[in-house]
Structures are given as structure tokens and as C-alpha cells.
Chains A and B, each alone.
Chain A
Amino acid sequence: MIPHEKALVQRMQDEPFVLFGINSDDADTYHKKRDEMGVTWPSVNDDSVKPKISTSWGVQGWPTIYVLDHKGVIRFKNVRGEQMDKAVDELLAEMKAEAGK
């Protein structure tokens, strides 16, 4: 999972894009492994929030993914791997087409 996310973040580094992580490990594991694995994107450790964001959002399995357009509207749910890349590309193209009008 993480290598794929890294690749996506790298490919999108000059685009209006953000990967926002909600990490569900306990705080210690999160802080230790975050550096080890080179997680550079903004992330919240769910352990630091009460009640947990994953609980408030009814997350039932990991990973759970939402893709939002630039207006903050939920456009895709639970797309993974290539599907996630495609969803992001599609929204980016849409955003650029809108801006170009």
C-alpha cells in the first residue's frame, strides 16, 4: 500500500493535490514507523483524537479511501491502486478544464 501512495504523491508533487492520511496505528508505532517508511504526506494519528476519526466516520476496514474533488465533494470511495490513480487523474483533468473555461 505505502509504496503505491508514495509513487502517487511523487507523481503529483507539482499538482494541486494532497494525500491526507488518517493513521490507525497506536501512537508509538506511528511515530516510529512514519520516519522509517518515509511518509511525507500530511497525516493524523487517529490515536490522538477522541473519539477516533475512523469511529466517527464508520470505517469498517482498512484501507478505506475517499477521493474528493477540489471543491471538497466526495467523488470516489474505496478505489485502490490503479483505480485510485485514475480517479485522481480524472479529477485533475476536470479541474483544469474548468479553470480553462
Chain B
Amino acid sequence: MGIRCPATSRAADPFPIPFTQPIAMWITTTAALLLGGAPATAPLSGPPPSLLQETPAAPMTPDEAQAKFLALEDEFDEARQAYYTEMRAKWEAHSEAGGDGSTFEPAPPIEPDFFPRFLALADAGVAGANGWVLMNWQHSGIEGAEAREAKTQRLLSVLAASPDDDVMMGLCSFLSNEASTDPRQNDPEGLIGPEASFAFLDVIRHAAKTDELSAYTLFTRGSCISDRQYYDADADLSAANVWYERAANEYPETEWGSRCGGYVFAANNLQIGQLAPDIVGKDHDGNDIRRSDFEGKITVLDFWGFW
């Protein structure tokens, strides 16, 4: 894909972003670096300050650090799976014995044990590890304005390393949380905030190497609005569709573009009081089957699975 001019695209954004000055400068510099193809080793203001007391002993080559990160990630995924399996079993035993949610005590989370290990690799320059640290920030012990600044610096250093889509997509999820105005957030002061988070999402979209990632940033932008329904019953969610429509129209060939197309379709055609569109598929024996085959009957449409 071609890189579109940020200025032009931003003008077309339905929600122009009123930058605060320091953020605007960061964004512009980062965007320039990214758009110009920054070398992977060009953090803007030196590596982010480590939260560790001790510095890692032996210097690692980037390849070694990356390999260590992948192994650590596997170890973490396995531990997390084991944790959930254990908690499910504990919960089942608990509810069989007549207990409910108010008396259930889950085991302490596993993330705090992993945090310093991911942090060491993040500080050694592994973008994926930095992404992990950002997404698990609540275990850092750092809150408030200090947290906001530390997160922003780490984010910039990951962006400057121009990592793969999966890391970038993780950053999008991270940013959607940072943009949240949910009053129930643990540390609202420590959040990067909607304005800067949306600007970062723009940066990621303009620097994206694949359409899939570009589509995902637009989806994320819309989901930041849709997510308000979980903490604000009166929130106007219709603005989300502007973003979903853009994702669907600009990146129709991508998975996230077609998902967003579905959200728009649902908003326009699947509301209470509307005539349900037809559904055509294959039945168990491979024959065509349609919803309209059952016209005249009360119909429950059930999107389901065996899980």
C-alpha cells in the first residue's frame, strides 16, 4: 500500500484531534521517523528508563534477546493456561459446594512473577517484550503521572523499532484501554488519555506495513466508542460506525475490514423492527438451505457453537 499523507487523512477524520503541544511534537517526530523508515535502533530519547534495580548482567545480541523473548512468551502462555485450568476446576468445586462469586478466592495472578523478566528483555530492546510490559502495566507498581510518562516513552520506543503486525496490534489494544474514559479504571491519572492515544493510533495507521494493520487501527478507533456502552448507558455509540465504515471501505480485502463491514451492516439492517435479511448456506448434507425456506414461521436465528 502507499503511505497516505497524515495531514490529508487527518483532515478527513470525523474527530479532529486537538493536540496538546508536547504530544504533538512527539507524534510528529515519531511519524517522520516511521514514515521515513527509521532504523530499528533509533529510539527517540534513548532507551526508556529501566524499572529494575539491577541492570541485566551480560549484553545480548538482538537475535538472542528475541529468542529469549519468544521462549518466555511460550512459558507465560503455558503458565496462564495452567492457571485458568486450575481456577476453572477450583470454581467448579466451589460452586458445587454451594459457593458463589462473592466467596470465591482465585489464586494470586501469575503476571507479577513474569513482569521483571519481560521488563529485562524490554529494556534490552525487544519490541514484543516492551509491548507485553505495556499491556501488563498494572503490575509495574508505577502509577499516576509517572506511569503516563513511562508508558508513553516505552510506546515511542516500540513504535520506532517498527515491529511486526502482531506487536502493533497488541499496541492498538493497549491504546484502546489507554483511551478509555471508564471511571472504574484502576489508575485513571496514569492513562495516556484519549487524545494522545488516538494520535498514536493515527501514527500506527500511517506507518502500517500491511492493510490488515491499517484496518485494525480503524476498528480500534471505533471500538473505543462502542466500548462506552459498558460504563455509560446513555453513550451515543453511532459515531463508532463512521470508523467501521472507513475500515470496510478503505480495506475491503482485509479480515478486519470485512468484520467492520459486518458491524455497519448490523447497525443498518439488523435492528429491531427491520425485516431480517436472508441467510443462505449449506446444511449437514451439503444442500442449499435458506432462512426464507421457513417463511411464515416464528424463527429463532441462533449463532452458536459446541464449545
Contacts and interface: CB of A to CB of B under 8 A. Distances in A.
Contact of B281 (A29, A44, A95): A44
A49 B282 contact: yes
A18 interface: yes
Most buried by B among A33, A44, A49, A92: A44
Give the interface residue-count category, chain B: 35 or more
B298 A62 contact: no
A16 B281 contact: no
B264 to A, nearest CB: 7
7 contacts: A43-B283, A54-B303, A57-B265, A58-B265, A63-B303, A70-B298, A72-B299
B305 A57 contact: no
For the complex of A and B, the 4 pairs showing the least CB-CB separation, nearest first, are A44-B281, A58-B262, A58-B266, A66-B301
Given A23-B304, A45-B282, A74-B275, 16 more contacts: A16-B298, A18-B299, A24-B303, A24-B305, A42-B294, A46-B281, A58-B259, A65-B300, A65-B301, A65-B302, A66-B270, A67-B298, A67-B300, A70-B297, A75-B272, A91-B298
B271 A74 contact: yes
A25 B307 CA distance: 8
Contacts of B299: 17-20, 67-68, 72
Contacts of B303: 22, 24, 46, 53-54, 57, 59, 62-65
Nearest to A51: B258
Contacts of A33: 306
Interface in A1-36: 1-2, 5, 8, 15-25, 29-31, 33-34
A88 B281 contact: no
Given A70-B296, A70-B297, A62 B272 contact: no
Contacts of B296: 16, 70
Nearest to B271: A74
A74 B298 CA distance: 10
Interface in B251-280: 258-259, 261-267, 270-276, 279-280
Interface residues of A, number: 58
Contact of A57 (B270, B298, B300, B302): B270
A97 interface: no
A31 B283 CA distance: 10
Q: Is the interface of B mostly helix, strand, loop or mixed?
A: mixed
Interface of B: 258-259, 261-267, 270-276, 279-284, 289, 291-307
A5 B298 contact: no
A22 B272 contact: no
B306 A29 contact: yes
A73 B273 contact: yes
Nearest to A24: B305
